[in-house]
Structure 1
Amino acid sequence: MTDETLVKEIAAQLRNPQGQKGIEMAEMMNQTNIAMTLHSIACLDIEPHQSILELGHGNCGHLAHLLAQQEGLHYTGLEISALMQQEAIRLNQSFMTQKQAEFLLYDGLNLNFAEQQFDRIFSVNTLYFWQQPVALLNELYRVLKPHGLLNLTFAQKDFMQQLPFTQYNFELYDLEKLEHLVSQTTFQIKTYSIQQDVVKSKMGDLVEREFMTATLYK
């Protein structure tokens, strides 16, 4: 396998994990993304008995941490990857049995939910793959309750463009580009926080990563 072929395969698996390599990629993503995921959750300002939606949960190894934030929470996870849905279900059977969590598939745009259904929404490292970001933000606005929060957590453009696989079907963002995107919707940016950590890249190297969690409100 050539270096270019490997890089393209990594890019494809990051977008939509499939097969045994997809399972391995999901575990790696859970490990490398966990700091970003925990930061996104911490910035959600979760209150008891709230309904929480996540887009692109991967294997959802963070669900126990999320549900421990407050009592009486209910979690809904959406994925475009059937494999990730299956892995999340496999790893979180107990929460599903207790009716605390459900995992559903979607097409990357249309949300099959009633208006004003969720108190909090978050998504980590999916923004790069949104095919119609304005339309999807409008859908998220529709299903979010008044005064609800949406957290988007993503690695900064300056960092991401150094990675070889991001040249293949990744749309990279920084604060300025995010502000322009949000300005085309009814959302307002409430606050944002920039963090740094050191992770092993998908290519196996240790790299310093700068990421942002932007909190949007309705």
Structure 2
Amino acid sequence: MNEQELKGLAEQLGNPSGKKGVEVAEMMDRNNIKMTIHSIDNLEIKNGDSILEIGHGNCGHLKLIFEKAIEIQYTGYDISELMNIEAKKLNQNLIQNNSIEFKLYDGDIFSEADNSFDKIFTVNTLYFWSNPIEFINEIYRTTKPNGIFCLTFAEKDFMEKLPFTKFGFNLYSIEDVQKLIEHSNFNLEKIENQTEEIQSKSGEIVSRKFLTMVLKKTL
């Protein structure tokens, strides 16, 4: 891929749009499924939980959440209007029979009141947070007491090797994120590491290391 194509790919990964955005979203759903499952598993979902997903994409994984327990309430936020539309389209049957809501937002503020969600998770959105300290405190605000937030991402040493991440990606090491967490009242409960073989967004097969940080809101 040339520089212009890499830049276009980076823009689509951050905010999918148009016909190309649908294709990129499908690729992200396939490539990120292990990361998504890892994040969901660490939520320890229970019956009746209210769950927030930040950056749901096309949400092809939604059924995996509803297989975990009953009477779940799911809210998904995304900055992409296309992803809002695609998620609703792909999950029509689930939406008809469950408490599910997909919302558009500006990437900074949720409309819910304080202490709204039992569980919150996000996969591969950290790189695009415009105000990371303010945003993690916004996540904390909407997490219920004793609630869990799972932050799943690939570390800087892997991401910086990918040719498109120089266009608009903010990359983080574990230490960088730990410093970010210190600006909130979240407690870091554990860090789980995984490695997988994937086809990168630009076509080559790579070994990706990723991790999930499990945070808890304690008062």
Report the TM-score when normalising by structure 1. Answer: 0.98
Task: Give the Å deviation of 1:104.
Answer: 0.4
Alpha-carbon distance in structure 2 between the residues aligned to 1:139 and 1:167: 27
Task: Give the Å deviation of 1:167.
Answer: 0.6
What is residue 59 of structure 2 aligned with on the other side? 60
Alpha-carbon distance in structure 2 between the residues aligned to 1:209 and 1:155: 7
Task: Give the Å deviation of 1:101.
Answer: 1.0
Counterpart of 1:150, as a letter, is: F
Task: Give the Å deviation of 1:100.
Answer: 2.2
What is residue 160 of structure 2 aligned with on the other side? 161
Counterpart of 2:74, as a letter, is: Y
Identity percentage over the alignment? 47
Counterpart of 2:155, as a letter, is: Q
1:110-130 Cα offsets, whole Å, 9 max, x none, are 110011110000000000000
The 4+ residue runs of structure 1 with deviation greater than 4 A are none
* Unpaired segments ≥5 residues, structure 1: none
Counterpart of 1:42, as a letter, is: D
What is residue 209 of structure 2 aligned with on the other side? 210
Alpha-carbon distance in structure 1 between the residues aligned to 2:19 and 2:184: 38
Alpha-carbon distance in structure 2 between the residues aligned to 1:210 and 1:156: 7
* Unpaired segments ≥5 residues, structure 2: none
Alpha-carbon distance in structure 2 between the residues aligned to 1:30 and 1:83: 14
What is residue 25 of structure 1 aligned with on the other side? 24
Task: Give the Å deviation of 1:72.
Answer: 1.1
What is residue 103 of structure 2 aligned with on the other side? 104
Paired residue secondary structure (1:78): strand
Alpha-carbon distance in structure 1 between the residues aligned to 2:173 and 2:212: 11
1:119-173 Cα offsets, whole Å, 9 max, x none, are 0000000000000011111111111100000000001111100001111111111
Report the TM-score when normalising by structure 2. Answer: 0.97
